[in-house]
Amino acid sequence: MAAKITREFLEKIPKTDLHLHLDGSLRISTLIELAKSAKVPLPSETEAGLQELVFKEKYQDLPDYLRGFGLTVAVLQTPESLERVAYELAQDNIAENVRYIEIRYAPQLHIRPGFTVEEVVECVNRGLARAQKEHNASAAVKQGGDIPFHYGIITCAMRFFNRHMSAYYAQLFDGMPHAPAKEVMAVASLEMARAAASLAHNKGIPVVGFDLAGAEAGFPAIDHKNAYQHAHVHFLKKTVHAGEAYGPESIFQAITECHADRLGHGTFLFAADKVKDPSIKDPDYYVKCLVDYIASRRITLEVCPTSNLQTIPAIPSVADHPLRKMLDANLSVSICTDNRLVSRTSVTRELELVCNHLSVTPARLRNLILAGFKGSFFHGPYNEKRALVRQVINRYDALEKQYLGA
């Protein structure tokens, strides 16, 4: 009989978070402090009040879930606030033995005249680099008793925005007064992809990937095909929020039109009933082929259980989450938080929920952990990534023997 996977073991093992939004993962105390400084009005100035009114246990749907970002983005409009929040987020992850993170955010939500996209990314990078330097200088890391901390930055374009969401977006609409809204959004995403590629190749900043975020239904990824093509030919890795609020066709589009190396969420991958294209005569076969393709190509799914339960009423519990089908299909799956504040969670908590509700065996847990490191958009030579994975394997196996007697 396999040993029980304990909370203590989950806290100790090295972990990743590949789907981690900066503006959804502030410390709530920091949000309150920054709001006071920036004179941003909050529905409540207490942690309990904000949790009751904004950052709830359950949301009506994805748009309801996304409303809290109006507050968090509003307080992240200065170099100091961006650097601080990035630093604290890295600290919070390091504290629970997360040793690799990829922080994603939309820099265009933070830029304004005199504060460029490059400066926004540099501020976030400074905060992350400071936390990394502090951890990696520790005696435990230097003596080989702990794993160094690594990170990457994923820049996001927005599927949808309006002129009120940032000064940059307002300027863009003003400059394209006769263009359809989707063309304005496509121009913004292409410019974001260009900036990301430039930062990665010319500034040495670990911008490792490009993403498309925001409300999915009604705003197809194909509208941003040119941005993804630019990222693709400039060797940026690609991930797409897909299958979170739409069906398998959105996932297919992300892979075929946007060259996705990973998929954000992929929740409705198996939902043949959500296939809408009348030319697809056999939705069940379509889904089967799509699942087999994702499995064989090892396209990692960034699964965020708590976030999905909060935004998708059709999934009442972790036990009902399609993660079970993903694991049974031997897909490459990494467990992520999505938003530590908005979902009130951590990597350890997400893993604990999965282990408790899906009867995850130690062997399957090991695969989940390693999938995060192997599926990462690691900044650096492939041989360095392999060396990190080997460190993780050695550390994990030693802890498994200590805590589970394996």
Those residues whose C-beta lies under 8 Å from the C-beta of residue 390, and which sit 6 or more positions away, are: none
Total Cβ atoms within 10 A of residue 50 = 21
Could you tell me the pLDDT band of residue 363, with boundaries at 50, 70 and 90? Answer: very high
How high is the pLDDT of residue 202?
Answer: 85
pLDDT of residue 243: 86
Confidence of residue 242 (pLDDT cuts 50, 70, 90): very high
Percent of the chain with pLDDT over 70: 99
pLDDT for the residue 406: 64
Residue 281 CB-density burial (10 A; 0-12 exposed, 13-18 middle, 19+ buried): exposed
List the catalytic residue out of 83, 216, 244, 302: 244
* Tens digits of residue pLDDT in 296-354: 999 999 999 999 999 888 899 999 999 999 999 999 999 999 999 999 999 999 999 99
The stretch 49-71 carries a mean pLDDT of: 87
Q: How many CA atoms lie within 13 A of 193 on its CB side?
A: 27
Domain spans of the chain?
7-376
What does the pLDDT average to over 54-77? Answer: 88
Strands (E), 9-65: 15-21
The stretch 393-397 carries a mean pLDDT of 97
Residue-averaged pLDDT of the chain: 95
pLDDT of residue 178 exceeding 90: yes
pLDDT the model gives residue 332: 98
Closest CA relative to residue 260, chosen from 236, 295, 280, 292:
236
Strand order across the beta sheet in which 15-21 lies: 15-21, 98-105, 150-158, 207-213, 237-242, 262-265, 300-303, 333-335
Phi and psi (nearest 5°) for 128? -65, -45
Region 81-95 average pLDDT: 98
Identify the CA nearest to 371 among candidates 403, 401, 327.
327
Give the three-state DSSP class for 154: strand
- 170: its two tokens: 């307002």
pTM of the model: 0.96
Whether the per-residue pLDDT at 1 is higher than 60: the answer is no
pLDDT single digits (tens) 107-133: 999 998 999 999 999 999 999 999 999
Using the predicted structure, report yes or no on whether residue 97 has a pLDDT greater than 60.
yes
pLDDT at 388: 98
Q: What is the pLDDT at residue 203? A: 84
CB-hemisphere CA count at 13 Å for 138? 15
Is residue 196 scored above 80 in pLDDT?
yes
DSSP, collapsed to helix, strand or coil, labels residue 299 as coil
243, 247, 256, 239: which is closest to 275 by C-alpha? Answer: 247
- 334 strand-pairing partners: 302
pLDDT higher than 70, residue 2: no
How would residue 46 be classed by pLDDT, with cut points 50, 70 and 90?
very high
The CATH class of the 7-376 domain is alpha beta
Does the structure show a pLDDT above 60 at 400?
yes
User: Is 244 noted as a catalytic residue in this protein?
Assistant: yes
- Asked if 110 and 166 count as a contact pair (C-beta separation under 8 A), the reply is yes
